[in-house]
Amino acid sequence: MGFTIAIDGPAAAGKGTISRRICAEFGFAHLDTGLLYRAVGAKMLTGAAPIEAAQTLTAEDLDGDLRNAEVARAASKVASIPEVRQALLDFQRAFATRAGGAVLDGRDIGTVICPDAQVKLFVTASAEVRAARRLLELVNGGADTDYETVLADVKERDHRDASRSDAPMKPAEDAILLDTSDLSIDEAFAKSVAVIRERQQGLPV
Ligand code: DC
């Protein structure tokens, strides 16, 4: 039987880092589901129709520069289209049940994609803390931007992702909340590992 870990939360809360560290610790496979929406968003920016782009997405579409602010904004926009979400559903669910365990990070993993995941985490932090982290990443990557611009972007994306009618970003009822404005990433990772080990021990062998 597969072991699925759902990690949701807003941008720059630390989901990606925690997911990668969990995978390194337990040998699980990682799917960054935001990348799927980014790939569709990037195609839309080049003139493609988003629904068709989602329905015909290929592995090659995940290559390239998908980590910039323009693509992030486009991703958040296409993510509010129900047909786009529907087109990406089967791939995510198939990934979640792969043998050997899987970690999926995104916005709706614990609520819609994998409601039966053995472990659900909702990783968050204040918009200000997240904007400061994202600014550092962007500037280190050579981008020319400033804190106010990044904070406005973070808030706009939070609002759009949390207020859409189809699969809005929200913690599942049984998710464990990890607020990384108060916790370091090391502490959040340690808490996650403790929860995962506890759940693994509780499973029938
Ligand atoms: O995690 P990210 O910043 O790469 O995600 C980019 C956008 O994709 C995000 O603003 C909303 C959307 N998204 C989503 O709607 N559902 C997911 N499971 C993952 C991402």
Q: How far is the CA of 78 from the centre of ligand 1 (A)?
A: 10
Ligand 1 pocket check for 153: Cβ under 6 Å = no
Residue 111 neighbours by CB distance under 10 Å: 20
Query: Which has more confidence, 2 or 36?
Result: 36
1, pLDDT greater than 70: no
Tally the residues of the chain.
Answer: 205
Question: What is the spatial distance between Cα 190 and Cα 205, in angstroms, rounded to a whole number?
Answer: 25
CB 106 within 8 A of CB 4: no
pLDDT at residue 25 in the model: 97
pLDDT at residue 182 in the model: 85
Give, using CA atoms, the residue closest to atom 5 of ligand 1: 34
Among the atoms of ligand 1, which is closest to the Cα of residue 109?
Answer: 18
Q: Is the pTM of this model over 0.85?
A: yes
What is the token pair recorded at 163? 């207020």
183, pLDDT greater than 80: yes
Write out pLDDT tens, residues 33-53: 999 999 999 999 999 999 999
- Select from 107, 124, 155, 169 the residue to mutate for testing ligand 1; criterion: most ligand atoms less than 8 Å from CB: 107
Among the atoms of ligand 1, which is closest to the Cα of residue 79?
Answer: 15
